[in-house]
Amino acid sequence: MSVPAQRSAEPVPADERGTLSIARSVVRAIAERAADDVNGTAEVERRIAGLGFGRHGASVTVSGSGGDVVLAVDVALRYPAPVRTVVDDVRARVTADVERMTSYHVRGLDITVSALRGESGARVQ
């Protein structure tokens, strides 16, 4: 029978406790959610070969090395929307959320507006 190791009364110094690694896929998910939460962004229908596969919001690609990340955000906006204002809001929100929730510094953030989506409603003729 083994005896459990005794815990010391002294806390282990922070630099000796281990490390925390945050996967790039987590950074991507945080950035996508942050972009989708900005007022003025829109979801678009995902289509492959003309078939609908549901809706999606922003998509993000993460690159970089060490503690720096470079993000490429592809987002659709509602029409009419003040494009420059919404893009500035997306940039600020994504940068703030990624840096607040992870240990990474956002070194670069490119935003592509891939679609302008008008209000969809039933048309009466």
Question: In which domain, by residue range, is 42 found?
Answer: 22-117
The domain tally of the chain equals: 1
Indicate whether 60 belongs to any domain: yes
What is residue 118's predicted lDDT score, i.e. its pLDDT? 86
Per-residue pLDDT of the chain (125 residues; tens, 9 = 90+): 666 666 667 888 877 888 888 999 999 999 999 999 999 999 887 666 666 666 789 999 999 999 999 999 999 999 998 999 999 999 999 999 999 999 899 999 999 999 999 876 444 54
Indicate whether 113 belongs to any domain: yes
Indicate whether 91 belongs to any domain: yes
CA separation for the pair 57, 39 (Å, rounded): 12
What is residue 19's predicted lDDT score, i.e. its pLDDT? 81
pTM over the 0.85 mark = no
What is residue 50's predicted lDDT score, i.e. its pLDDT? 67
Indicate whether 81 belongs to any domain: yes
Indicate whether 86 belongs to any domain: yes
What is residue 120's predicted lDDT score, i.e. its pLDDT? 62
What is the DSSP-derived secondary structure letter of residue 15?
A: G
Indicate whether 29 belongs to any domain: yes
Sequence letter at residue 27 = V
Indicate whether 16 belongs to any domain: no
Cβ burial of 65 (10 Å; 0-12, 13-18, 19+) is: exposed
What is residue 6's predicted lDDT score, i.e. its pLDDT? 67
Choose among 104, 26, 101, 37: nearest CA to 75: 37
What is residue 23's predicted lDDT score, i.e. its pLDDT? 94
Beta strands in the chain (DSSP E): 41-42, 44-48, 51-56, 59-63, 68-79, 105-118
Q: Domain with 34 in it: what CATH number?
A: 3.30.70.1350
